[in-house]
Amino acid sequence: MKLEYGEKTVRRAIVCFLGLVLGVCVVQPVFSGPLSLGLAAGYYMPSDSAYKDLYGQGGLMFGGSFSFELIRKFEVRVDGGYFQDSGKMNLTKEDLKLSLLAGGLGVRLRFVDAKLLRPYLGGGLAVYGYKEDLPSRLEDVSKTALGFQIEAGTYIRLTQRVLLDLNLRYVFMNAKPLREAVKLGGIRAGLGIVYQF
């Protein structure tokens, strides 16, 4: 039996994200700072040795984010990303494919709001929906895992409303697709562009 991300699941995720954005925009005057939308690309490197044997070191992850300042220098953030990698079985060399939808809900605390740099530390929850396409003689795997993440980085101001986001994150997450746990978490390093309004 082949398991895939259902269209209903994807639609629900999009509706929830848009509902959150709309809800925050309606009550924006309560917040002390701006709302922000961002796009990012980065390198995702899972820490599991079995993953590295089958797929390699990792690859590019693309995503987006929405955030707002609840109080000055304290940012609440929702983000998401997509990652895909291909590999081969160790013995038979049959093709494998892993698809991963990453979501996060967290906070960032900025230390300084200087003209150019705004360094921060952050943390929060992480949820991964993953699907592994296996050879036809085996059953594909499709599950969800929950973990947490810590991060550090800095915003770099380009204009009054546009910033770069240089970020390094570590995700702690164990998934159990079969009998053994797999460490889906690992290092995510990326660069994003953020628009404040």
Task: Give tens-digit pLDDT for 103-149.
Answer: 999 999 998 888 899 999 999 999 999 888 888 777 787 888 889 99
| Number of domain units in the chain | 1
Query: Residue 101: pLDDT above 90?
Result: yes
44 domain residue, yes or no: yes
CB under 8 Å to 124, separation ≥6 — which residues? 77, 104, 105, 106, 107, 148, 149
Dihedral (C-alpha) 40, 46, 52, 56: value to the nearest 10 degrees? 0
> pLDDT band at 1, cuts 50/70/90?
very low
Q: What is the CATH number of the domain that holds 132?
A: 2.40.160.20
27 domain residue, yes or no: yes
Task: Give tens-digit pLDDT for 132-191.
Answer: 888 877 778 788 888 999 999 999 999 999 999 999 999 999 876 655 667 888 999 999
137 domain residue, yes or no: yes
Domain around 49: 7-196
Q: Both tokens of residue 45?
A: 């490197």
1 domain residue, yes or no: no
